[in-house]
């Protein structure tokens, strides 16, 4: 008598894509599918806001998530996420997150997502591509937290491939990439890498006037418990932050944003 075959376990994978197109007078197009949603709250002050949401609650093995913004003409807007994104332990392939941002001539976009929390064993490939027309600019924020700090989690296994590329009129003007894996984790505490930090952020402003704000940025880098560095290559201002805890990091980011931009912080942020 033959044994019955053991059924294989299959997990449902989430897929989502949301894309918003805006012009000087407001929303032009909105497309959303699967677990990705986009909301446009009505505000009385500041830039028009686009708030993205992943309804699946996080990213697991082989999930696919895509957010996109297109600003036409001299449109100015802010895009953020409703909450922190979470990358969970993955036994299979890496989750893929894509961000596609396009800003028309004379336009401006603040891309200010909330932090990404990488659980122990997480696998995440993320690719952010920004296309700026002539005379356009942007402000880009990325915050990453290694492990669930409130639970004392310290990741022992991890896979992260995170890349941000900004092009202006088709030419690459900013490229920032980071890779973390099981082999590099034991060395992260070294002074040449994270120096024991578990939270990190990069804030990059791409605009002709960005280097003029270097002094303003450095004056705002005064949060206890946060290690920081700021540089101003031609046409850019790049600020890197490290902290052991997420709250000092968020306070420092909030202070920087208040110093570098005239508009209020995203309304969805809990500040």
Instruction: Quick: pLDDT tens for 205-250.
Output: 999 999 999 999 999 999 999 999 999 999 999 999 999 999 999 9
- Give the pLDDT confidence score for residue 82 in this predicted structure: 94
pLDDT the model gives residue 30? 97
- Kindly give the residue spans of alpha helices, DSSP state H, lying in the chain: 214-219, 246-260
Residue 11, phi then psi, degrees to nearest 5: -105, 140
The pLDDT of residue 11: 58
Contact 159, 146 (CB under 8 A): no
Query: At residue 230, what are phi and psi to the nearest 5 degrees?
Result: -135, 140
Cβ atoms 80, 52 nearer than 8 A = yes
Residue 1 in this model has a pLDDT that exceeds 50: no
Q: What is the mean pLDDT of residues 30-42?
A: 95
H-type helices in 120-236, by residue range? 214-219
Q: What is the mean pLDDT of the chain?
A: 91
Residue 81: pLDDT over 70: yes
> pLDDT at residue 149 above 80?
no
Contact at 8 Å (CB) between 268 and 259? no
pTM of the model as a whole: 0.92
pLDDT at 2: 47
pLDDT at 270: 64
Percent of the chain with pLDDT over 90: 77
Q: Using an 8 Å Cβ cutoff, are 240 and 201 in contact? A: yes
């Amino acid at each position: 008598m033959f044994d019955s075959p053991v059924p294989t376990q299959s997990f449902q994978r989430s897929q989502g894509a949301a894309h918003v197109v805006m012009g000087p007078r407001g929303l032009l197009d909105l497309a959303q599918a699967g677990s990705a949603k986009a909301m446009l709250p009505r505000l009385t002050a500041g830039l028009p806001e686009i708030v993205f949401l992943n309804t699946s609650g996080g990213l697991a093995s082989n999930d696919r998530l895509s957010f996109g913004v297109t600003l036409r003409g001299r449109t100015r807007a802010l895009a953020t996420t409703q909450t922190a994104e979470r990358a969970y332990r993955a036994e299979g392939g890496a989750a893929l997150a894509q961000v596609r941002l396009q800003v028309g001539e004379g336009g401006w976009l603040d891309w200010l997502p909330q932090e990404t929390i990488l659980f122990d064993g997480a696998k995440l490939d993320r690719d952010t591509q920004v296309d700026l027309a002539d005379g356009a600019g942007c402000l880009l924020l990325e915050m990453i937290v290694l492990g669930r700090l409130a639970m004392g989690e310290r990741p022992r296994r991890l896979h992260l491939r995170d890349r941000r590329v900004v092009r202006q009129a088709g030419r690459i003007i900013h490229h920032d990439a980071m890779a973390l894996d099981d082999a590099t984790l034991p060395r992260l505490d070294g002074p040449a890498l994270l120096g024991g930090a578990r939270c990190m952020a990069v804030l990059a402003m791409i605009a002709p006037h960005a280097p003029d704000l270097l002094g303003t940025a450095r004056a705002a880098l005064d949060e206890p418990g946060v290690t920081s560095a700021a540089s101003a290559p031609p046409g850019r201002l790049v600020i890197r932050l490290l902290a052991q805890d997420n709250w000092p990091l968020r306070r420092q980011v909030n202070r920087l944003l208040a110093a570098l931009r005239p508009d209020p912080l995203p309304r969805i942020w809990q500040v």
